[in-house]
Protein backbone atom coordinates (compact mmCIF):
# COMPACT_ATOMS: atom_id res chain seq x y z
CA UNK A 1 0.00 0.00 0.00
CA UNK A 2 1.37 3.41 -0.94
CA UNK A 3 1.10 5.96 1.77
CA UNK A 4 2.25 9.07 -0.03
CA UNK A 5 1.39 12.68 0.74
CA UNK A 6 -1.95 12.55 -1.07
CA UNK A 7 -2.95 9.38 0.78
CA UNK A 8 -1.99 10.94 4.10
CA UNK A 9 -4.08 14.01 3.40
CA UNK A 10 -7.00 11.83 2.28
CA UNK A 11 -6.72 9.78 5.45
CA UNK A 12 -6.77 12.79 7.78
CA UNK A 13 -9.80 14.25 6.04
CA UNK A 14 -11.55 10.89 6.02
CA UNK A 15 -10.99 10.35 9.75
CA UNK A 16 -12.21 13.80 10.73
CA UNK A 17 -15.34 13.80 8.57
CA UNK A 18 -17.38 11.14 10.45
CA UNK A 19 -16.33 12.47 13.86
CA UNK A 20 -17.75 15.85 12.88
CA UNK A 21 -20.82 14.44 11.09
CA UNK A 22 -21.70 11.89 13.80
CA UNK A 23 -21.03 14.07 16.85
CA UNK A 24 -24.70 14.21 17.84
CA UNK A 25 -25.17 10.47 17.43
CA UNK A 26 -22.08 9.71 19.53
CA UNK A 27 -23.25 12.13 22.18
CA UNK A 28 -26.67 10.51 22.39
CA UNK A 29 -25.08 7.05 22.68
CA UNK A 30 -22.92 8.42 25.47
CA UNK A 31 -25.87 10.07 27.19
CA UNK A 32 -27.45 6.62 27.49
CA UNK A 33 -24.58 4.98 29.35
CA UNK A 34 -21.84 7.55 29.94
CA UNK A 35 -21.50 11.24 30.61
CA UNK A 36 -22.72 12.49 27.26
CA UNK A 37 -19.57 14.19 26.06
CA UNK A 38 -18.15 11.67 23.61
CA UNK A 39 -19.48 13.28 20.43
CA UNK A 40 -18.36 16.76 21.37
CA UNK A 41 -14.97 15.51 22.59
CA UNK A 42 -14.20 13.52 19.44
CA UNK A 43 -15.41 16.36 17.23
CA UNK A 44 -13.18 18.83 19.05
CA UNK A 45 -10.20 16.49 18.77
CA UNK A 46 -10.59 15.71 15.09
CA UNK A 47 -11.29 19.32 14.18
CA UNK A 48 -7.90 20.05 15.73
CA UNK A 49 -6.38 17.19 13.71
CA UNK A 50 -7.97 18.53 10.53
CA UNK A 51 -6.47 21.94 11.26
CA UNK A 52 -3.02 20.29 11.15
CA UNK A 53 -3.40 19.94 7.37
CA UNK A 54 -1.66 20.54 5.07
CA UNK A 55 1.56 20.43 7.12
CA UNK A 56 0.91 17.14 8.89
CA UNK A 57 0.72 15.27 5.56
CA UNK A 58 4.32 16.26 4.82
CA UNK A 59 5.58 14.28 7.78
CA UNK A 60 6.84 10.70 7.72
CA UNK A 61 4.24 8.12 8.75
CA UNK A 62 5.53 7.74 12.32
CA UNK A 63 5.78 11.51 12.79
CA UNK A 64 2.31 12.08 11.35
CA UNK A 65 0.64 9.49 13.57
CA UNK A 66 2.56 10.76 16.58
CA UNK A 67 1.39 14.32 15.91
CA UNK A 68 -2.22 13.20 15.41
CA UNK A 69 -2.12 11.07 18.55
CA UNK A 70 -0.67 13.89 20.61
CA UNK A 71 -3.30 16.33 19.39
CA UNK A 72 -6.05 13.86 20.30
CA UNK A 73 -4.54 13.31 23.75
CA UNK A 74 -4.43 17.05 24.37
CA UNK A 75 -7.76 18.06 22.83
CA UNK A 76 -10.28 15.25 23.19
CA UNK A 77 -10.35 15.02 26.97
CA UNK A 78 -12.42 12.40 28.70
CA UNK A 79 -11.05 8.88 28.85
CA UNK A 80 -11.21 8.66 25.06
CA UNK A 81 -8.44 11.20 24.41
CA UNK A 82 -5.64 9.16 25.96
CA UNK A 83 -7.06 5.90 24.58
CA UNK A 84 -7.54 6.99 20.96
CA UNK A 85 -4.42 9.17 21.09
CA UNK A 86 -2.33 6.30 22.40
CA UNK A 87 -3.61 4.10 19.56
CA UNK A 88 -2.44 6.59 16.92
CA UNK A 89 0.91 7.26 18.60
CA UNK A 90 1.74 3.57 18.96
CA UNK A 91 0.34 2.62 15.55
CA UNK A 92 2.71 4.99 13.77
CA UNK A 93 5.84 4.22 15.73
CA UNK A 94 7.45 1.76 13.35
CA UNK A 95 5.30 2.26 10.27
CA UNK A 96 7.19 2.66 6.96
CA UNK A 97 5.87 4.97 4.25
CA UNK A 98 4.93 2.03 2.03
CA UNK A 99 3.59 -0.38 4.65
CA UNK A 100 2.94 -4.01 3.76
CA UNK A 101 -0.01 -5.90 5.21
CA UNK A 102 2.39 -7.43 7.72
CA UNK A 103 3.58 -3.95 8.76
CA UNK A 104 0.00 -2.81 9.36
CA UNK A 105 -0.85 -5.96 11.32
CA UNK A 106 2.24 -5.51 13.50
CA UNK A 107 1.53 -1.80 14.02
CA UNK A 108 -2.09 -2.47 14.97
CA UNK A 109 -0.99 -5.21 17.32
CA UNK A 110 1.37 -2.87 19.18
CA UNK A 111 -1.24 -0.13 19.30
CA UNK A 112 -3.86 -2.50 20.71
CA UNK A 113 -1.46 -3.69 23.41
CA UNK A 114 -0.84 -0.04 24.35
CA UNK A 115 -4.57 0.76 24.49
CA UNK A 116 -5.16 -2.29 26.71
CA UNK A 117 -2.41 -1.12 29.05
CA UNK A 118 -3.65 2.48 29.10
CA UNK A 119 -7.21 1.46 29.94
CA UNK A 120 -6.24 -1.62 31.95
CA UNK A 121 -8.88 -3.33 29.88
CA UNK A 122 -9.36 -6.11 27.38
CA UNK A 123 -11.89 -7.15 24.78
CA UNK A 124 -15.27 -8.18 26.19
CA UNK A 125 -15.65 -5.20 28.54
CA UNK A 126 -17.70 -2.97 26.24
CA UNK A 127 -14.93 -0.63 25.11
CA UNK A 128 -13.24 0.34 21.84
CA UNK A 129 -11.16 -2.82 22.21
CA UNK A 130 -14.26 -4.77 21.23
CA UNK A 131 -13.90 -3.20 17.78
CA UNK A 132 -10.10 -3.01 17.57
CA UNK A 133 -9.46 -6.67 18.41
CA UNK A 134 -11.83 -8.30 15.87
CA UNK A 135 -10.82 -5.80 13.17
CA UNK A 136 -7.19 -6.68 13.81
CA UNK A 137 -8.05 -10.36 13.27
CA UNK A 138 -9.63 -9.62 9.88
CA UNK A 139 -6.65 -7.47 8.93
CA UNK A 140 -4.24 -10.24 9.95
CA UNK A 141 -6.34 -12.77 8.05
CA UNK A 142 -5.93 -10.84 4.79
CA UNK A 143 -9.45 -9.41 4.53
CA UNK A 144 -10.06 -6.63 2.00
CA UNK A 145 -11.32 -3.14 2.83
CA UNK A 146 -14.97 -4.18 2.62
CA UNK A 147 -14.36 -7.10 5.00
CA UNK A 148 -12.52 -4.85 7.45
CA UNK A 149 -15.25 -2.20 7.33
CA UNK A 150 -17.95 -4.84 7.82
CA UNK A 151 -16.06 -6.35 10.75
CA UNK A 152 -15.79 -2.91 12.38
CA UNK A 153 -19.51 -2.15 12.01
CA UNK A 154 -20.53 -5.64 13.21
CA UNK A 155 -18.20 -5.42 16.18
CA UNK A 156 -19.73 -2.12 17.30
CA UNK A 157 -23.20 -3.69 17.04
CA UNK A 158 -22.05 -6.60 19.16
CA UNK A 159 -21.31 -4.26 22.08
CA UNK A 160 -25.06 -3.63 22.49
CA UNK A 161 -25.77 -6.71 24.66
CA UNK A 162 -22.47 -6.42 26.54
CA UNK A 163 -22.13 -5.50 30.19
CA UNK A 164 -19.76 -2.58 30.73
CA UNK A 165 -16.91 -3.39 33.09
CA UNK A 166 -14.60 -0.44 32.44
CA UNK A 167 -15.34 3.26 32.07
CA UNK A 168 -18.23 5.38 33.24
CA UNK A 169 -20.78 2.92 31.85
CA UNK A 170 -19.63 0.34 34.40
CA UNK A 171 -21.33 2.45 37.09
CA UNK A 172 -24.62 1.48 35.51
CA UNK A 173 -24.01 -2.25 35.91
CA UNK A 174 -26.67 -4.22 34.08
CA UNK A 175 -28.33 -1.03 32.85
CA UNK A 176 -25.39 -0.70 30.45
CA UNK A 177 -26.78 -3.72 28.58
CA UNK A 178 -28.85 -2.84 25.51
CA UNK A 179 -26.87 0.23 24.43
CA UNK A 180 -24.06 0.42 21.89
CA UNK A 181 -20.76 1.48 23.40
CA UNK A 182 -20.05 5.02 22.11
CA UNK A 183 -16.29 4.43 21.95
CA UNK A 184 -16.86 1.31 19.87
CA UNK A 185 -19.14 3.25 17.55
CA UNK A 186 -16.62 6.07 17.02
CA UNK A 187 -13.81 3.56 16.53
CA UNK A 188 -15.81 1.66 13.91
CA UNK A 189 -16.59 4.93 12.08
CA UNK A 190 -12.88 5.78 12.04
CA UNK A 191 -11.92 2.35 10.71
CA UNK A 192 -14.59 2.37 8.00
CA UNK A 193 -13.43 5.84 6.92
CA UNK A 194 -9.76 4.84 6.95
CA UNK A 195 -10.14 1.74 4.78
CA UNK A 196 -12.30 3.65 2.33
CA UNK A 197 -9.77 6.49 2.07
CA UNK A 198 -6.87 4.12 1.56
CA UNK A 199 -8.67 1.85 -0.93
CA UNK A 200 -7.55 -1.19 0.90
CA UNK A 201 -7.13 -4.29 -1.23
CA UNK A 202 -7.27 -7.88 -0.08
CA UNK A 203 -3.91 -9.18 1.00
CA UNK A 204 -2.12 -5.98 -0.06
Partner 1 sequence: MSSSNSANVGIVIVSHSIKIAEGAADMVRQMVGNAVPLGWTGGDVDGGLGTNVAGILAAIDAAWSPAGVAILVDLGGAETNSEMAVEMLPDDRRARVVVCNAPVVEGAVIAATEASGGSSLSAVKRSAEELYA
Q: Return d(Cα 95, Cα 21) in angstroms, integer.
A: 29
User: Binder to partner 1 among 39, 81, 92, 99 (CB under 8 A)?
Assistant: 81
Supply the minimum distance, in Å, between the C-beta of residue 165 and partner 1. Answer: 12
What number of other Cβ atoms are within 10 A of residue 84's Cβ?
A: 28
User: Binder to partner 1 among 13, 77, 110, 196 (CB under 8 A)?
Assistant: 77
Q: Could you give phi then psi for residue 56, rounded to 5 degrees?
A: -65, -25
Kindly report the three-state secondary structure assignment for every residue of 51-103: CCCCHHHHCCHHHHHHHHHHHHHHHCCCCHHHHHHHHHHHHHCCCCCCCCHHH
110 binds partner 1 (CB under 8 A): no
User: Binder to partner 1 among 74, 98, 146, 160 (CB under 8 A)?
Assistant: 74
The answer to whether the CB of 62 falls within 8 A of the CB of 111 is no
92 binds partner 1 (CB under 8 A): no
CA proximity to 197, closest of 56, 39, 10: 10
Supply the minimum distance, in Å, between the C-beta of residue 40 and partner 1. Answer: 8
- Name the maximum alpha-carbon separation found in the chain: 47
Q: Could you give phi then psi for residue 158, rounded to 5 degrees?
A: -70, -10
| Closer by beta carbon to partner 1, 126 or else 168 | 168
The span of 6-14, 24-32, 39-47, 195-203 binding partner 1 (CB under 8 A) equals 39-47
| Closer by beta carbon to partner 1, 26 or else 104 | 26
Say what the alpha-carbon torsion angle 152, 156, 162, 166 is, to the nearest 10 degrees. Answer: 90
Supply the minimum distance, in Å, between the C-beta of residue 167 and partner 1. Answer: 6
User: Pattern 156-185, binding to partner 1, x per CB under 8 A?
Assistant: ----------xxx-----------------
40 binds partner 1 (CB under 8 A): yes
Contacts to partner 1 from residues 113-132, by CB under 8 A: 118-119
The span of 32-40, 49-57, 101-109, 179-187 binding partner 1 (CB under 8 A) equals 32-40
CA proximity to 104, closest of 125, 120, 90: 90
Residues near partner 1 (CB under 8 A) = 35, 37, 40-41, 44, 73-75, 77-83, 85-86, 118-119, 166-168
Amino acid sequence: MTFDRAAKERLVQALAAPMIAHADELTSLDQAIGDGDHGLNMKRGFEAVLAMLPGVADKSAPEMFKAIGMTLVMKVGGASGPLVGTFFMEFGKSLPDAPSRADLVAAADKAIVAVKARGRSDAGQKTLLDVLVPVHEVLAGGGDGAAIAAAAADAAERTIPMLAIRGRASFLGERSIGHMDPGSRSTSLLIVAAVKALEFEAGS
